[in-house]
Structure 1
Amino acid sequence: MTAILQRYKMIVFLIVLVSGAAYGYRHFYKKKPEKNLAQESKSFFKVSDEILKRHPVTFVSLKEVSRFEELALPGRITYDPESMARVGSTVEAKIKKVLVREGDRVSQGSPLAILSSVQLGEVEAAYVKARASLEALKLQADRAKELFEMKVTAAKEYELATMQYKTAKTEAETTRIKLENYGLTPSEIEGIERGVYVSSNLVLRSPINGEVTERKAIIGQQTSRNEELFTIANLNNLWVLLDVYEKDLGGVNEGAQATIYPFGTEESTKIQGRVAYVGAVLDSVKRTAKIRIMVSNRGGKLKPGQTVTAKVAGLVVSTGDGKRRMLPLEAVHEIEGRSVVFVHHDDGRFEAVNVVVGDIIEDDIIILSGVSEGAQVASKGSFVLKSEYLRY
């Protein structure tokens, strides 16, 4: 009896054990593949040939590039010629008074110095004489016209008077132009015409708004024509000039971002600019070309003649330290906070693959993980695949 009872208990135990195993198999093993299948079906999708024909897609593989860092180049700050002026006398003269010092800010038309010129005095006197002669000959020509119309005088006398008046007018206009070229203002010339302003003094004036960055004028100095006495510059915009070797020129383009580091300042003190010009001619000895960078200097941190270090986007040097794997920036898409690329498989399906990305370098982006070697990644035109993927 006892043996029968033990056998009965053993049979019940085996039935429970088999039932439990079957239950576990159904609930754990069978459902798990279903779950993986659902995940797989969500990542994989197909795109019709018609769509791909209308919107062609190009494919790329990971490319390896050497690790590199931006090339630091020495440079020099200089004036923007469009924002500066060199001022000198237009006539031989003696400097009587200097009205500004280096560092002074001036406006367009501000007086810089007063000069005394014998030559200018002679031209002013000639203008006064020409104006007086012009007025007399005008009256004479008007009288000759009246007499000719009244048939009192002959046409020859009328024509002679008219010719003398026109000659005097031309002489007066020519002398006025000389005064304007010497730097006299319209109001000063009008004063000469009225007879209230006859002087050999010449006032040098600033032609632009800016700062006096150089002064060579000294009281009592005899200056020749066009000798530079002042430099006026608007320092809000400056140039940075760099010498770039021939082998590096291919890496820089006009419009590229540049970072300027003034010597003697902290690393954090940097100024942004852009490449405005890449030289087309190489120095025959140094084999370098000039690169010009435009920078804003409204904070006044830069000074013409100052030495700086500049880093320009595209000018890089290999560090020889390992490799980086990269894809075109257009191949990586942001979807719900994830970085995703679309990989093409041999069966014609596409797979949305999550990737971990690094720095962006020009038109490429570093891929840290997620894409295997040799994978065919959709690049140009991949926005179509993104649209199709989001439909699923």
Structure 2
Amino acid sequence: MKLLFQKYKVLIVLALGITIVFFGFKYFSKKKPEKKITEENKNVFTVPEDVIRRHPLTYVGLKEVSQFEELALPGRITYDPESMAKVGSQVEARIKKVLVKEGDRVSQGSPLAILSSIQLGEVEAAYVKARASLDALKMQADRAKELFEMKVTSAKEYEFATMQYKTAKTEVETTRIKLDNYGLTPSEIEGIERGIYVSSNLILRSPINGEVTERKAILGQQVTRNEELFTIANLSHLWVLLDVYEKDLGGVREGAQATIYPLGDEHSSVQILGKVGYVGTVLDNVKRTAKLRIMVSNKGNKLKPGQTVTAKVAGLVVSTGGGKRKMIPVEAVHEIEGKSFVFVPHGEGSFEAVNVVVGDTIEDDVIILGGLPDGAEVVSKGSFVLKSEFMKF
């Protein structure tokens, strides 16, 4: 009987062992796939509800647009009006001497030509005479004031002397303004006042630093008032003018980057970058185009006023008729450890950081080359908050 009991005891222990092994195997076999799922979703994270409430999120889908390429347009190089000057005589005169030629570099105040003007000589003589008269009348006015205060002369005599002095002073000031308008420098006018500079000669001077790009002055030439004799320009900054059709204007913005290169040679090594400074608001009634002005820095003088060039401007594009491109807003893409990520919602405050391949940026959108399936939604506005939460994991 005792032996039979021991046999049953052994059987019970074996049964318990087999049961423990069986259920243990089932338990660990179930846990293994769960571990695998966790590894596959390591980029999935949860954001607290209060964070989402404080920072509302906007969801956007992939936007498909047609394939485009930048539109190349012919343009013309012209002066920047803020960096150029037209120089001419302010009085009728004859050119006695020309001091510069085209291509010469000049500084502000540099003499360009010497002119002889009878009219200027007359104004100079009138200024000298007016100055002398002013000095005499000032003495008379001062003397009349003293006598009036001593009750030697009448108020009428004192007022008459004072009026004569004020009239002479006005004449001197008016004549000086004429000399200044004719182009005489303050030192030259002071010389006339001291009686050491009385001449009918007029020196034309450059009003800016730059280069003589045009000379019309000829020795012995008789010139009229405001006749243009020289063009001085600072060629370090120029404009490129383009005619843009009405239908293409919508994609251009001030500040957009532009590339300038020789006419028709897009692959030339001579390429200059510029920026759109102005988008015309008035259309040509016939051509239905508006002016587009590009500002360029002309280091090395590679560009010449009057030159025809080709320009490509960001936003000026034309459809190629090819396939579609997928795009999302730039603010939806974030760089993390050298890779580009977007955040895809999984519901109930859960999000996944998805690695994507990006292409060019066009205005406020970026091209997605891979990583997102069709129909996927990503977080746009507020995605910077998700980036902060993701970096905590």
Same fold, TM-score > 0.5, yes or no? yes
Question: Does the 8 A contact of 1:211 with 1:234 survive in 2?
Answer: yes
CA distance in 2: counterparts of 1:333 and 1:161, whole angstroms: 85
Q: Tell me what 1:62 maps to.
A: 62
The amino acid of 2:296's aligned partner reads V
Deviations 1:21-49 (A, max 9, x none): x9xx99x9878624422213423223233
Q: Tell me what 2:12 maps to.
A: none
Deviations 1:272-323 (A, max 9, x none): 1111111111111111111111111122111111111111111111111211
CA distance in 1: counterparts of 2:29 and 2:270, whole angstroms: 63
Structure 2: give runs of 5+ residues left out of the alignment. Answer: 1-21
Q: Tell me what 2:286 maps to.
A: 285
Deviations 1:327-354 (A, max 9, x none): 2222222223332222223566322222
Q: CA deviation at 1:366?
A: 1.9
The amino acid of 2:340's aligned partner reads S
Q: Please report the TM-score for the alignment, with normalisation by the length of structure 1.
A: 0.88
Go from structure 1 to structure 2 and tell me whether the alpha carbon gap of 1:248 and 1:37 turns closer, same or farther (over 3 Å shift). same
Go from structure 1 to structure 2 and tell me whether the alpha carbon gap of 1:199 and 1:337 turns closer, same or farther (over 3 Å shift). closer
Go from structure 1 to structure 2 and tell me whether the alpha carbon gap of 1:172 and 1:29 turns closer, same or farther (over 3 Å shift). same
Q: Tell me what 1:269 maps to.
A: 270
CA distance in 2: counterparts of 1:213 and 1:175, whole angstroms: 34
Q: Which has the higher mean CA deviation after the structures are superposed, 373-382 or 88-97? A: 373-382
The amino acid of 2:284's aligned partner reads D
Give runs of aligned pairs for residues 84-123 of structure 1, distance below 5 A. 84-123=84-123
The amino acid of 1:209's aligned partner reads N
CA distance in 2: counterparts of 1:161 and 1:336, whole angstroms: 90
Q: Tell me what 1:228 maps to.
A: 228
The amino acid of 2:388's aligned partner reads S
Q: Tell me what 1:47 maps to.
A: 47
The amino acid of 2:134's aligned partner reads L
Q: Tell me what 1:83 maps to.
A: 83
Question: Does the 8 A contact of 1:332 with 1:340 survive in 2?
Answer: yes
Q: Tell me what 2:378 maps to.
A: 377
Question: Does the 8 A contact of 1:344 with 1:375 survive in 2?
Answer: no
Structure 1 moving runs of 4+ over 4 Å: 28-32
Go from structure 1 to structure 2 and tell me whether the alpha carbon gap of 1:373 and 1:173 turns closer, same or farther (over 3 Å shift). same
CA distance in 2: counterparts of 1:332 and 1:153, whole angstroms: 94
Q: CA deviation at 1:124?
A: 1.1
The amino acid of 2:293's aligned partner reads R
Question: Does the 8 A contact of 1:62 with 1:326 survive in 2?
Answer: yes
CA distance in 2: counterparts of 1:251 and 1:108, whole angstroms: 41
CA distance in 1: counterparts of 2:336 and 2:142, whole angstroms: 91
SS of residue matched to 1:184: coil
Go from structure 1 to structure 2 and tell me whether the alpha carbon gap of 1:273 and 1:331 turns closer, same or farther (over 3 Å shift). same
Q: Tell me what 2:258 maps to.
A: 258
CA distance in 1: counterparts of 2:209 and 2:135, whole angstroms: 40
Identity of aligned residues (%): 79
SS of residue matched to 2:255: coil
SS of residue matched to 1:295: strand
CA distance in 2: counterparts of 1:332 and 1:143, whole angstroms: 88
The amino acid of 1:244's aligned partner reads V
Question: Does the 8 A contact of 1:141 with 1:161 survive in 2?
Answer: yes
Question: Does the 8 A contact of 2:128 with 2:193 survive in 1?
Answer: yes
Q: CA deviation at 1:184?
A: 1.1
Deviations 1:53-107 (A, max 9, x none): 2111111111211111111111111111111110110000000000111111111
Q: Tell me what 1:351 maps to.
A: 352
CA distance in 2: counterparts of 1:194 and 1:387, whole angstroms: 78
Go from structure 1 to structure 2 and tell me whether the alpha carbon gap of 1:193 and 1:386 turns closer, same or farther (over 3 Å shift). closer
Q: CA deviation at 1:358?
A: 2.3
SS of residue matched to 2:124: helix
SS of residue matched to 1:42: coil
Question: Does the 8 A contact of 1:80 with 1:237 survive in 2?
Answer: yes
* Paired residues, number: 368
Q: Tell me what 1:366 maps to.
A: 367
RMSD over aligned Cα, in angstroms? 2.2
CA distance in 1: counterparts of 2:47 and 2:150, whole angstroms: 103
Q: Which has the higher mean CA deviation after the structures are superposed, 325-334 or 148-157? A: 148-157
Q: Which has the higher mean CA deviation after the structures are superposed, 158-167 or 314-323? A: 158-167
The amino acid of 1:113's aligned partner reads A
Q: Tell me what 1:15 maps to.
A: none
Q: Tell me what 2:317 maps to.
A: 316
Question: Does the 8 A contact of 1:77 with 1:241 survive in 2?
Answer: yes
Question: Does the 8 A contact of 2:49 with 2:349 survive in 1?
Answer: no
Q: Tell me what 1:147 maps to.
A: 147
Question: Does the 8 A contact of 1:345 with 1:376 survive in 2?
Answer: no
CA distance in 1: counterparts of 2:141 and 2:349, whole angstroms: 100
CA distance in 1: counterparts of 2:187 and 2:64, whole angstroms: 73
Q: Tell me what 1:219 maps to.
A: 219
Deviations 1:152-200 (A, max 9, x none): 3333322222222222222122111111111111221122122221111
Q: Tell me what 2:6 maps to.
A: none
Q: Please report the TM-score for the alignment, with normalisation by the length of structure 2.
A: 0.88
The amino acid of 1:377's aligned partner reads V
